[in-house]
Amino acid sequence: MERSFPKITEEGLDALRQRIGVKIGQTAEPWCHEATRDNIRHYAHGIGDDNPLWCVPEYAKKTKFGDVIALPSFLFTTSRIISGYVGGLPGIHAMWSGSDWHWHKTVHRNDEITTEAWLKDLIVHDTKFAGRAVQQIYHVDFFNQKGDLVADADSWCFRTERDHAREKGTKYKELKQKPVRRYTDEELAEASKLYAEEKIRGATPRYWEDVKEGEALPTMVKGPMTVTGFIAYAQGWGGLYIRANKLAWKLQDAHPGLGIKNRFGIPDCPERVHWEEEFAHEVGAPGAYDYGPERASWLTHHLTNWMGDDGVLRNATCKIRRHNPAGDILFIKGKVTRKYVENGRHLVAIEQEARQQDDELSILGTGIVELPNKK
């Protein structure tokens, strides 16, 4: 017998609208308060990024930074809200679906990060995945221990009715009917080749003058996706609701809607859609799938590999278009769309898109990179 989940109500939406613009007090403790050597490396490795600027102090000491620095997407670890910890509408599923980041200062090793956040907007949509859905947009400012604004970002989740997505959603109807795909060694070799050829620009400067509009970035591969990979990301990022024993009980006692019974009748977190196939199907997803912030971080990884140690990522956006269930392989592509100078900065605008092995669009992204110029 299938269980029933709560519905989106006008009363719930009205109550949530009262929170727009109101600064949020202490919510769940962030996974990382400080950009320590290990915290930075764990996050980088969680997205499959082995850039020595974040991971190898002996290398980083020879750069202008003098030590390892945090990769731009590391800041996901310092705020549960930017990562999808939403308020209101208890029992309504939340799917992290996009972000718009602006970075202002480098996050150095051992910087302490604090945040301020508020609900920015609510937008009601009609979707193929789950019918009526609510886009819940938050804004977060990130500060270092000196009080400097190091970054600000918007991120958004779509709140969807689990019953509607499971029973009436049409987005993944055909995919759910397909047999499990098994890759041949030849197909896997394509991904292996891209991993072998992946280049980190590193200490060799990429000068603004040498970049051409229309120039393509190297294709980056992510996958084949496995539950192991999703867990590796959660190890570095921390997850939203992953808790053990007493701490799990305390969270569910404070927020009863978070405890959804598993097949043993034990309340467990909704985040298990990322590793539990059966529960992913209950919320309308095609299977256990990757994390949204993980995918956004893959896009910025693509950009930081290309720009090198002397480049600065100033802005990045992502818009998620589908789930990536276990078994998918993602191919990230990009091209330079514009070169320009603004306020003395030599900037390059880049458009990105990622498609999976069957050429279905997974995510769209943009980036603005500041590059050194030949003086």
Q: At 147, which CATH number?
A: 3.10.129.10
pLDDT digits (tens, 9 = 90+) for 26-79: 777 899 999 999 999 999 999 999 999 999 999 999 999 999 999 999 999 999
- In the chain, how many domains are there? 1
Q: Grade residue 172 by pLDDT with cuts at 50, 70 and 90.
A: low
Q: What is the mean pLDDT of the segment spanning 300-323?
A: 97
Average pLDDT, the chain: 92
What is the C-alpha separation between 343 and 56, in angstroms, rounded? 33
Asked whether the predicted pLDDT for residue 166 surpasses 50, the reply is no
Contact status, residue 270 vs residue 241, Cβ threshold 8 Å: yes
pLDDT of 176 above 70: no
Residue 5 lies in a domain: no
pLDDT digits 0-9 by tens, 190-211: 899 999 999 999 999 999 999 9
φ, ψ at 103 (rounded to 5°): -105, 135
Assess whether pLDDT exceeds 60 at residue 24.
yes
- Per-residue DSSP letter, 294: H
Q: Report the alpha-carbon distance of residue 166 to residue 359 in Å, rounded.
A: 24
User: What is the model's pLDDT at position 12?
Assistant: 85
Tell me how far apart the alpha carbons of residues 274 and 239 are, in angstroms, rounded to a whole number: 10
Radius of gyration of the chain (CA): 21
* Mean of pLDDT values over 291-312: 97
- Residue that has been written with the tokens 């209950």 in this structure: 282
pLDDT attached to residue 179:
79
Residue 229 domain boundaries: 10-370
In a domain, 315, yes or no: yes
Q: Is residue 2 part of a domain?
A: no
Asked if residue 4 belongs to a domain, the reply is: no
**Domain for residue 328, yes or no?**
yes
Residues contacting 248, CB < 8 A, separation 6+: 269
d(CA 188, CA 13): 46
**pLDDT per position as a tens digit, 116-128:** 999 999 998 877 7
Q: Tell me the pLDDT tens digit for each residue of 243-255.
A: 999 999 999 999 8
Handedness of CA 243, 245, 250, 255 (dihedral sign): positive
**Across residues 140-162, what is the average pLDDT?**
94
Q: Are 30 and 43 in contact (CB under 8 A)?
A: no
Spatial CA neighbour of 132 closest among 98, 89, 100? 89
Q: Is 283 inside any structural domain?
A: yes
Q: Has residue 224 been placed in a domain?
A: yes
Going by pLDDT thresholds of 50, 70 and 90, the confidence category of residue 1 is very low
Q: What is the pLDDT of residue 8?
A: 84
Residue 298 domain-assigned?
yes
Least confident residue range of 3-17, 142-156, 165-179, 192-206? 165-179
Q: 165: number of CA atoms within 13 Å, CB side?
A: 25
263-291 in b/e form (b: 16+ CB < 10 A) is eeeeebbbbbbbbbbebbbbbbbbbbbbb
